[in-house]
Amino acid sequence: MADRKHRVIIVGGGFGGLAAAKALKRADVDIVLIDRRNHHLFQPLLYQVATAALNPSEIAWPIRHLLRRQDNVRVLMATVTGVDAASRQVLLEDGSREPYDSLILATGAQHAYFGHDEWEPFAPGLKTVEDATAIRRKLLLALEAAERESAPARRRALLTFAIIGAGPTGVEMAGAIIELGRASIKGQFNTIDPHDLRVVLIEGGERVLPNFAPELSDYTLASLRRMGVEVELGHMVSALDADGVSFGDKRIETKTIIWAAGVAASPVAEWLGIESDRAGRIKVAPDLSVPFMPDIFVIGDVASITREDGKPVPGVAPAAKQAGKHVARVIMRRLAGDATPLPFRYQHAGDLATIGKSSAVIDFGWLKLKGWFAWWVWGLAHIYFLVETRTRIVITLSWLWIYLSGQRSARLITHGMAPERKPLEEVDEN
Amino acid sequence: MADRKHRVIIVGGGFGGLAAAKALKRADVDIVLIDRRNHHLFQPLLYQVATAALNPSEIAWPIRHLLRRQDNVRVLMATVTGVDAASRQVLLEDGSREPYDSLILATGAQHAYFGHDEWEPFAPGLKTVEDATAIRRKLLLALEAAERESAPARRRALLTFAIIGAGPTGVEMAGAIIELGRASIKGQFNTIDPHDLRVVLIEGGERVLPNFAPELSDYTLASLRRMGVEVELGHMVSALDADGVSFGDKRIETKTIIWAAGVAASPVAEWLGIESDRAGRIKVAPDLSVPFMPDIFVIGDVASITREDGKPVPGVAPAAKQAGKHVARVIMRRLAGDATPLPFRYQHAGDLATIGKSSAVIDFGWLKLKGWFAWWVWGLAHIYFLVETRTRIVITLSWLWIYLSGQRSARLITHGMAPERKPLEEVDEN
Is A36 close to B417, i.e. CB distance below 8 A? Answer: yes
Q: Which amino acid is at B343?
A: P
At A74 the three-state DSSP class reads strand
Instruction: Compute the mean pLDDT over every residue in chain B, rounded to the nearest whole number.
Output: 90
Q: How far apart are the first and last CA of chain B?
A: 50
Q: Which amino acid is at A249?
A: D
Q: Which of A149, A172, A179, A203 is catalytic?
A: A172
H helices of B12-128, where?
15-23, 46-50, 63-66
Residue B427: its pLDDT value, please?
29
Contacts with A60 from chain B: Cβ below 8 Å: 412
Rounded CA-CA distance B194/B186 in Å is 7
Is A129 close to B414, i.e. CB distance below 8 A? Answer: yes
| Residue B89: its H or E element | strand B89-92
| Residue B135: its H or E element | helix B129-148
Residue B73: its pLDDT value, please?
96
pLDDT tens across B261-313, in order? 988 888 999 999 999 998 899 999 999 999 999 999 999 999 999 888 888 89
Neighbour tally for B383: CB within 10 Å: 15
Confidence of residue B396 (pLDDT cuts 50, 70, 90): confident
Q: Does B187 touch chain A (CB under 8 A)?
A: yes
Q: Which value, to the nearest 10 degrees, does the dihedral of the CA atoms of residues A36, A41, A43, A48 take?
A: -120
Residue B429: its pLDDT value, please?
26
pLDDT tens across A78-124, in order? 999 999 999 999 999 999 999 999 999 999 998 889 889 999 999 99
CA A92 from centroid of its chain's CA atoms: 25
Please tell me what DSSP assigns to residue A309: T
Whether residue B66 contacts residue B18, with contact meaning beta carbons closer than 8 Å, is answered with yes
CA B261 from centroid of its chain's CA atoms: 12
Rounded CA-CA distance B390/A401 in Å is 8
Residue A408: its pLDDT value, please?
74
Tell me what the mean pLDDT of segment B348-361 comes to.
88
Whether residue B11 contacts residue B80, with contact meaning beta carbons closer than 8 Å, is answered with yes
Residues 6+ apart with CB under 8 A from B169: B47, B126, B260
Confidence of residue B20 (pLDDT cuts 50, 70, 90): very high
Is B407 close to A65, i.e. CB distance below 8 A? Answer: yes
Nearest CA in chain A to B409: A57
What is the torsional sign of CA A369, A373, A377, A378?
A: positive
Where are the strands (E) in A124-213, listed by range?
160-164, 198-202
The fraction of chain A above a pLDDT of 70, given in percent, is: 95
Whether residue A41 contacts residue A48, with contact meaning beta carbons closer than 8 Å, is answered with no
At B233 the three-state DSSP class reads coil
Q: Does A188 touch chain B (CB under 8 A)?
A: yes
At B326 the three-state DSSP class reads helix
Rounded CA-CA distance B166/B58 in Å is 26
What is the torsional sign of CA A175, A177, A180, A183?
A: negative
Whether A172 is catalytic is yes
Contacts with A129 from chain B: Cβ below 8 Å: 412, 414
How many Cβ contacts (< 8 angstroms) between chains A and B?
Answer: 140
Is pLDDT at A1 greater than 50 in this prediction? no
Residue A341: its pLDDT value, please?
87
Residue A356: its pLDDT value, please?
83
Rounded CA-CA distance B273/B284 in Å is 14
User: Nearest CB to A148: which of B78, B391, B394?
Assistant: B78
Domains A6-36+78-111+263-335 and A117-261+351-428 belong to one CATH topology:
yes
Give rounded-to-5 percent helix, strand, coil for chain B: 35, 25, 40
Q: What is the longest distance spanned by two Cα atoms in chain A?
A: 76
Length of chain A: 430
Residue A416: its pLDDT value, please?
64
Topology classification of domain B6-36+78-111+263-335: FAD/NAD(P)-binding domain (3.50.50)
Rounded CA-CA distance B279/A17 in Å is 53
Contacts with A55 from chain B: Cβ below 8 Å: 55-58, 410
Topology classification of domain A117-261+351-428: FAD/NAD(P)-binding domain (3.50.50)
Contacts with A148 from chain B: Cβ below 8 Å: 76-78
Give me the DSSP letters along A20-65.
HHHHTTTSSEEEEEEESSSEEE-GGGHHHHHTTSS-GGGSEEEHHH
Of the residues B143, B411, B422, the best mutation for testing chain A's interface (the one with the most A CB atoms within 10 Å of its CB) is B411
Whether residue B411 contacts residue A65, with contact meaning beta carbons closer than 8 Å, is answered with yes
Is pLDDT at A234 greater than 80 in this prediction? yes
Residues 6+ apart with CB under 8 A from A98: A9, A32, A34, A76, A89, A90, A92
Q: Where are the domains of chain B?
A: 6-36+78-111+263-335, 117-260+351-428
Is pLDDT at B430 greater than 50 in this prediction? no
Rounded CA-CA distance A421/B94 in Å is 7
Residue B423: its pLDDT value, please?
34
Tell me what the mean pLDDT of segment A220-229 comes to.
96
Task: Give strand pairing partners of B104.
Answer: B10, B297
Q: Does B64 touch chain A (CB under 8 A)?
A: yes
Residue A83 phi, psi (nearest 5)? -130, 130
What are the angstrom distances between the C-alpha of A67 and each of A62, A75, B118, B172, B303?
9, 8, 41, 29, 51
Is pLDDT at B326 greater than 70 in this prediction? yes
User: Nearest CB to B411: which of A62, A75, A188?
Assistant: A62
Where are the strands (E) in A242-391, listed by range?
244-247, 250-253, 256-259, 263-265, 282-283, 289-290, 293-298, 303-304, 351-354, 360-363, 368-371
pLDDT tens across A39-67, in order? 999 999 999 999 988 888 889 999 998 99
Rounded CA-CA distance A13/A70 in Å is 15
Task: Give strand pairing partners of B253.
Answer: B244
CB interface of B with A, residues 34-63, below 8 Å: 35-39, 55-58, 60-62
CB interface of A with B, residues 349-408, below 8 Å: 390-391, 393-394, 397, 401, 405, 407
Whether residue A230 contacts residue A190, with contact meaning beta carbons closer than 8 Å, is answered with no
Q: Which value, to the nearest 10 degrees, does the dihedral of the CA atoms of residues A59, A395, A258, B63 take?
A: -110
User: Nearest CB to B130: which of A74, A415, A420?
Assistant: A415
What are the angstrom distances between the C-alpha of A368 and each of A216, A364, B219?
8, 6, 65
User: Nearest CB to A418: which of B39, B77, B418?
Assistant: B77
Residue A114: its pLDDT value, please?
84
Our CA-based measurement puts residue A183 at a distance from the nearest CA of chain B, in whole angstroms, of 10
Low-confidence winner among A2-11, A116-125, A292-301, B15-24 (lowest mean pLDDT): A2-11
Tell me what the mean pLDDT of segment B28-46 comes to.
95
Instruction: Compute the mean pLDDT over every residue in chain A, rounded to the nearest whole number.
Output: 90
Residues 6+ apart with CB under 8 A from B6: B28, B29, B30, B101, B102, B331, B335
Residue B57: its pLDDT value, please?
86
Q: Does A410 touch chain B (CB under 8 A)?
A: yes
Is A133 close to B397, i.e. CB distance below 8 A? Answer: no
pLDDT tens across B69-128, in order? 999 999 999 999 999 999 999 999 999 999 999 999 999 998 889 889 999 999 999 999
Residue A425: its pLDDT value, please?
33
For helices A15-23 and A317-335, what crossing angle results, to 10°? 30
The fraction of chain A above a pLDDT of 90, given in percent, is: 68
At B343 the three-state DSSP class reads coil
Rg value, chain A, Cα? 23
pLDDT tens across B203-256, in order? 999 999 998 999 999 999 999 999 999 999 999 999 999 999 999 899 999 999
The interface predicted TM-score of the complex, written ipTM, equals: 0.81
Evaluate whether the domain defined by B117-260+351-428 bears CATH number 3.50.50.100: yes
pLDDT tens across A383-407, in order? 888 877 777 777 787 777 777 776 7
Q: Does B91 touch chain A (CB under 8 A)?
A: no
pLDDT tens across A348-358, in order? 888 999 998 78
Confidence of residue A11 (pLDDT cuts 50, 70, 90): very high
